[in-house]
Amino acid sequence: MAAGSAIQIPSRLPLLLTHEGVLLPGSTMRTSVDSPRNMQLVRSRLLKGTSLRSTIIGVIPNTSDPTSDCDDLPSLHRIGTAALAVQVVGSNWPKPHYTLLVTGLCRFQILQLLKEKPYPVAEVEQLDRLEQFTNQHKSEEELGELSEQFYKYAVQLVEMLDMSVPAVAKLRRLLDNLPREALPDILTSIIRTSNQEKLQILDAVRLEERFKMTIPLLVRQIEGLKLLQKTRKPKQDDDKRVVAIRPNRRISHIPSTTEDEEEEDDHDDVVMLEKKIRTSSMSEQALKVCLKEIKRLKKMPQSMPEYALTRNYLELMVELPWNKSTKDRLEIRAARILLDNDHYAMEKLKKRVLEYLAVRQLKNNLKGPILCFVGPPGVGKTSVGRSIAKTLGREFHRIALGGVCDQSDIRGHRRTYVGSMPGRIINGLKTVGVNNPVFLLDEVDKLGKSLQGDPAAALLEVLDPEQNHSFTDHYLNVAFDLSQVLFIATANTTATIPPALLDRMEIIQVPGYTQEEKIEIAHRHLIPKQLEQHGLTPQQIQIPQVTTLDIITRYTREAGVRSLDRKLGAICRAVAVKVAEGQHKETKPDRAEVGEGEDCKEHVSEDAKTESISDTADLALPPEMPILIDFHALKDILGPPMYEMEVSERLSQPGVAIGLAWTPLGGEIMFVEASRMDGEGQLTLTGQLGDVMKESAHLAISWLRSNAKRYQLTNASGSFDLLDNTDIHLHFPAGAVTKDGPSAGVTIVTCLASLFSGRLVCSDVAMTGEITLRGLVLPVGGIKDKVLAAHRAGLKRIIIPRRNEKDLEEIAVNVRQDLTFVMASCLDEVLNAAFDGGFAVKPRVERLNSKL
Ligand code: ADP
């Protein structure tokens, strides 16, 4: 359409009746056509017509919805826009319709409706763009100020828009190129106006009137835009901050709002972080990664989840002790004194630790084996680890590995995961803040395995001196040097430590304590520690050694001293209450147990009796100091004894023998019970036994059957075939604990021998040893723990394999003195020692082969 040139429209126009949208001259509109009249118009006029004239139609706006009344023609708006149908698109979905693209040419008014069907045709009169007016510049002069004013507003409006958009730039150019009288129509169709307003502009046939009506619309639009820009301003700033150089804002001294201040704070933090990164002593590789990340951080909007993630990462990197270490102060003599002061007994362990430290002193290199303390709980493994750190003047950190079954626990999660974090090693380093701490890897035997990978494999890398100088945590994603870290491991048993890991470690066995050692440990270390923890002094509480022995034998049954420590803690708590009550004179002690002290007199020294805690209770007076803990007070505080000497009771029938077992928790005594009943010669085994133990039971039966005659062993019906019409049931309490190993062999034989001979096994004897089918007794492991367990249980004689004799040297002299050891190399010797007066063997009848 040539702007400004005159247009001549036909005097008869087919009418397109629209019910939404108003087409103004000079603008284009897309409209959907589906009423029968309009469809007809499109079909018979637009689609069939061949000349340009046939594509000119009259668009009449604001007609009521044409679909509702298709018969009667609705009342038509008087003024319409002659338009050029530029495009017709037909579609059958969702119902048959056409979409027309029409461009407005000029206004017309209906003079007379010529026909209504199949589509309306009217005789029209063209109202603008007439030839006689187009060359008249007079109108412009007349309008003068009005059109100038309009033009100014139009320019202002367009310049408020984003000029980088090509359509806006084109519009700006059009403002200058188009004749002024065309502008009101064009701008009205561009700006936000209601249909009603557009209709008014359409009806404004006089140019002056049109200008007057459009100026307020333009002004309204300008104000609207201004408001919009104002509300958007902070957001734009935000974008700017993201995109570019923030310091500029500060230089320009723009007064800042609170939001700005927050941003600046953040910005300061990031700058500080960058400074910290640059001044930190991290490795070159790490520095490179950090600088890259901080660059990314600066460009990131804070609202992005990745912002916090990256920031946490950078903060961790800054905090890590890349080059920070404590100075080792190692003097072997001082170390020996410190170890001796902190720990009683455990000579072997202390000796090995001192050797280890001595080597370190001479050769400042950590490429030795990793020490692994293996022993029952509560024997001081952790506490020795802590002492090592103390002697070296290093930081100490304990990493509990029990139950860890995901390798990310060691090596960290990759940063792509939500909630990703570094592994325990890196976390530990962050906590201690130096790169040469002592790390105690607690309970390496309880590492698990799962689908998330094998944590033991990850630990291998950590512990291998050849690899750990460039340990790469998945979260950090850069290497960290662990070669200065001193690793010590602890475990209850080596059986469940993965072999590859075991290979890297030097195992130091830490056996359980004897009763005497426990008493010493209690009095030298545990009681003073507990008193201090409870705010008590030795002047307020007195625990004699007999009481400690009572706690050890009657209230605990353990290889270590942990539960002894707990019981002492309980006693201290109870005494603390008494002492506190005593400080308030009027407070009445509420204990009432009087007169049951008779049975415990033997535990209390004569002169201390009056000061016992229970004796003072009924006087309603503050207790006299020090409060003496006798057996009676013990019963009062800890309840009745948990373990009584039950051995003799349980051995009151034939078919019971005491074995010695080794568990990760130390040695234990084990009662093996057997019974027989009528049956078909079946052997039943209960008590969660492993395969090896089951085999031992079969071996024992076989040996006894083959030697039944020699020992005169018979079944219930007097037959030497022990399984003839007889079933045997063997049970190993406690039924809930899994047991395995060959060392119960001799015990099973003794137990069955007792069952079939009807004789009682001596009640003070315990035994251990593997058997063979020929009746030999083979050596077994864990002798020291087993002997200690027997000693704890009050047994007097222990039968051990002869080849285990050398192991007795490790046992404390006082324990050895309390016990009698029987060395057995065959089962005959075992049975002879197990039964009072020996186990009769029918002398073999020597048969002489006569040769005639
Ligand atoms: P573990 O690590 O072997 O399970 P801990 O090191 O935690 O045992 O020891 C438990 C408690 O017993 C600690 O308070 C420790 O100080 C104390 N303890 C154990 N053995 C000794 C000992 N020989 N001398 C002094 N205290 C000991």
| CB of 379 closer than 6 angstroms to any ligand 1 atom | yes
170 is catalytic: no
Residue 382 among known ligand-binding residues: yes
Cis peptide before 118 (omega within 30 of 0): yes
What amino acid is encoded at 690 in this protein?
G
Length of the chain: 852
Q: Whose CA is nearest to atom 21 of ligand 1?
A: 380
786 is catalytic: yes
Take residue 470 and report the two structure tokens written for it: 């460039």
pLDDT tens digits, 546-581: 899 889 888 887 888 999 999 999 999 998 888 887
More confident of the two residues 488 and 608: 488
Can you give the pLDDT at residue 70?
56
Can you give the pLDDT at residue 622?
53
Q: Whose CA is nearest to atom 25 of ligand 1?
A: 343
Give Cα 143 distance to the centre of its chain: 79
CA-to-CA distance for 52 and 58, rounded, in angstroms? Answer: 14
**pLDDT exceeding 90 applies to what percent of the chain?**
13
End-to-end CA distance of the chain: 149
Residue 380 among known ligand-binding residues: yes
CA-to-CA distance for 699 and 511, rounded, in angstroms? Answer: 31
Does 37 have pLDDT greater than 80?
yes
- 349 C-alpha to ligand 1 centroid (Å): 13
Q: Which of 519, 526, 539 is nearest to 570 (CA)?
A: 526
| CB of 158 closer than 6 angstroms to any ligand 1 atom | no
Question: What pTM, to 2 d.p., does this model score?
Answer: 0.56
- 575 C-alpha to ligand 1 centroid (Å): 24
Strand pairing class (505-509; 486-491)? unpaired
Residue 589 among known ligand-binding residues: no
- 343 C-alpha to ligand 1 centroid (Å): 8
pLDDT tens digits, 334-388: 888 988 988 988 888 888 888 888 887 787 666 677 889 988 888 899 999 999 8
CA-to-CA distance for 524 and 533, rounded, in angstroms? Answer: 15
At residue 79's C-alpha, the angle toward residues 74 and 83, to 5°, is: 100
Asked whether 474 and 413 are in contact (CB, 8 A), the reply is: yes
| CB of 381 closer than 6 angstroms to any ligand 1 atom | yes
Residue 96 among known ligand-binding residues: no
42: three-class secondary structure by DSSP: helix
CB burial string 15-41: b at 16+ within 10 A, e below: bbbbbeebbbbbbbbebebebebbbbb
**Of the listed 350, 446, 635, 786, which one is catalytic?**
786
539: three-class secondary structure by DSSP: coil
DSSP per position, 364-431 = ----SPEEEEE--TTSSHHHHHHHHHHHHT--EEEEE-TT---THHHH---TTSTT----HHHHHHHH
Beta partners for residue 662, in sequence order: 667
Split at pLDDT 50, 70, 90, the class of 532 is very high
Split at pLDDT 50, 70, 90, the class of 649 is low
Asked whether 458 and 411 are in contact (CB, 8 A), the reply is: yes
CA-to-CA distance for 105 and 379, rounded, in angstroms? Answer: 102
| CB of 344 closer than 6 angstroms to any ligand 1 atom | yes
794: three-class secondary structure by DSSP: coil
The DSSP letter of residue 826 is B
CA-to-CA distance for 766 and 595, rounded, in angstroms? Answer: 39
**Of the listed 387, 743, 754, 757, which one is catalytic?**
743
Can you give the pLDDT at residue 606?
40
**pLDDT exceeding 70 applies to what percent of the chain?**
84
Beta partners for residue 486, in sequence order: 438
Split at pLDDT 50, 70, 90, the class of 604 is very low
Does 675 have pLDDT greater than 60?
yes
Split at pLDDT 50, 70, 90, the class of 265 is low
Q: Residue 204: phi, psi to the nearest 5?
A: -80, 90
Does 763 have pLDDT greater than 60?
yes
For helices 305-319 and 424-432, angle between their N-to-C axes, nearest 10 degrees: 60
- 32 C-alpha to ligand 1 centroid (Å): 90
| CB of 665 closer than 6 angstroms to any ligand 1 atom | no
Does 522 have pLDDT greater than 90?
yes
**Residue-averaged pLDDT of the chain:** 80
pLDDT tens digits, 119-146: 899 999 988 877 665 555 555 556 678 8
Can you give the pLDDT at residue 134?
55
pLDDT tens digits, 86-96: 888 888 777 88
Take residue 306 and report the two structure tokens written for it: 């990745």
Beta partners for residue 771, in sequence order: 777
| CB of 383 closer than 6 angstroms to any ligand 1 atom | yes
